[in-house]
């Protein structure tokens, strides 16, 4: 069988490349050995955010009386939380599958390999003018710290829990670690988070990291920073009927005994990419974000360029955390200007009972070079700044824009006048 383009992997990079190619009238065959949608839809972004939303509602309901709403005896049925998550994922996946079918993409649900410049699947040979490998990534474990899928869990495993543990230790404080710490804490689980770096969320601006640490402290999330496990052992319970525990000994000498462990210390590409194939998405080893994968695919197929230095990052929960561009620690002292504004200065934050956070903008030569936001709706605000940076707008240009009131976005406007 002959096609213009053969794509191995049906995640954001793969299905976006397929849609873009069909728009150009090219014939496309897409191979997916598991479920269409990849990690993002099935085991990452979407299911996690669905559970996180339930956690946020539950946490808000705890203080509903302060807002004049009386609710008694609220509780969590975590099995139903998971069921709700599964329904969302299934609905979106079916919609995506239907879109691929209606667009004319030939989808082959099986494992595929590349041999001598051809794709082999189910004993069939597919000859494609162009081959794209978009097989994504998988959770990473380490020697001495391997997933056993019962006590030492991956981000895949954690989504399949039907009951909440009483306590959990999370190793790694990237987006996955931070979001699950927020979820479990909101549901009343005793949470400990372990990070090798000097601060939580080490890829973020230091001021953002420090604010996250302050928020976690207020929520009684235990933090063990600048350390890592020297051993993780499973200890059988001496009492019949009680669950076994893990014993984590940290290099700092502290000992933790959580019910289970979430190892969230990064992801690694599924396969190495043959020289005859183009790599897109997580498998290419660059930025492991779904929107980066999507933009890569659009750039490759439709030749719409994008700036890889202007890829926004978002960590979800309340408040959201978002950033784009340069961090303050990356800039040389005396070469930049900084505007920093507390979210509590905005009337909308008090209306929403969400006053935690700040907007921080970094500039050089009258233009924004970085922005870092901790706030409700930070994911939307960072996009506004990204658009301005992408179009090389000056701060004076942005001052001419009318921002609606009352909004969080007007905080960007007010920040511009603080330079």
Q: Which residues form the catalytic set?
A: 405
Burial of 58 (0-12, 13-18, 19+ CB in 10 A): middle
Rounded to 5°, the CA angle 287-129-97 comes to 60
List for the chain the helix, strand, coil content (%; round to 5): 35, 25, 40
Residues, the chain, total? 419
- Give the separation between CA 230 and CA 208, rounded to whole angstroms: 28
Helical pair 45-62 and 175-186, crossing angle rounded to 10 deg = 40
- Give the separation between CA 297 and CA 130, rounded to whole angstroms: 13
DSSP reduced 3-state for 14: helix
Alpha-helix runs per DSSP H in 24-148: 38-42, 45-62, 78-103
Rounded to 5°, the CA angle 380-87-153 comes to 80
- Give the separation between CA 114 and CA 266, rounded to whole angstroms: 27
């Amino acid at each position: 069988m002959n096609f213009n383009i053969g794509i191995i992997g049906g995640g954001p990079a793969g299905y976006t490349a397929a849609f873009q190619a069909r728009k150009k009238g090219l014939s496309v065959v897409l191979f997916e050995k598991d479920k269409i949608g990849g990690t993002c839809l099935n085991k990452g972004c979407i299911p996690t955010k669905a559970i996180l939303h339930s956690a946020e509602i539950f946490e808000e309901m705890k203080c509903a009386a302060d807002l004049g709403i009386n609710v008694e005896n609220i509780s969590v049925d975590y099995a139903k939380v998971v069921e709700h998550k599964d329904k969302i994922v299934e609905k979106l996946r079916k919609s995506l599958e239907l879109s691929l079918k209606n667009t004319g993409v030939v989808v082959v649900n099986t494992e595929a390999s590349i041999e001598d410049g051809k794709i082999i699947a189910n004993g069939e040979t597919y000859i494609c003018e162009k081959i794209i490998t978009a097989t994504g990534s998988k959770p990473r474990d380490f020697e001495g710290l391997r997933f056993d899928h019962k006590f030492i869990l991956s981000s895949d495993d954690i989504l399949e829990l039907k009951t909440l543990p009483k306590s959990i230790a999370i190793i790694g404080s990237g987006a996955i670690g931070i979001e699950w710490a927020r979820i479990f804490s909101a549901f009343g689980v005793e949470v400990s988070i372990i990070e090798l770096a000097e601060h939580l969320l080490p890829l973020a601006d230091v001021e953002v990291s420090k604010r996250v640490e302050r928020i976690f402290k207020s929520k009684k999330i235990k933090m063990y920073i600048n350390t890592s496990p020297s051993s993780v052992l499973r200890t059988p319970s001496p009492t019949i009927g009680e669950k076994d525990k893990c014993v984590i000994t940290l290099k700092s000498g502290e000992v933790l005994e959580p019910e289970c462990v979430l190892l969230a210390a990064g992801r690694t590409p599924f396969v190495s990419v043959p020289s005859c194939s183009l790599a897109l998405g997580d498998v290419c080893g660059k930025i492991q974000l779904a929107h980066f994968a999507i933009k890569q695919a659009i750039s490759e197929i439709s030749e719409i360029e994008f700036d890889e230095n202007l890829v926004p990052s978002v960590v979800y929960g309340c408040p959201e955390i978002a950033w784009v561009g340069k961090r303050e620690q990356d800039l040389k002292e005396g070469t930049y200007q900084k505007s920093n504004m507390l979210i509590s200065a905005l009337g909308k934050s008090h209306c929403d009972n969400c006053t935690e956070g700040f907007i921080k903008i970094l500039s050089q030569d009258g233009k924004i070079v970085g922005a870092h936001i901790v706030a409700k709706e930070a994911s939307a605000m960072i996009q506004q700044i990204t658009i301005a940076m992408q179009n090389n707008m000056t701060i004076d240009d942005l001052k001419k824009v009318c921002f609606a009131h009352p909004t969080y976005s007007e905080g960007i406007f007010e920040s511009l006048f603080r330079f």
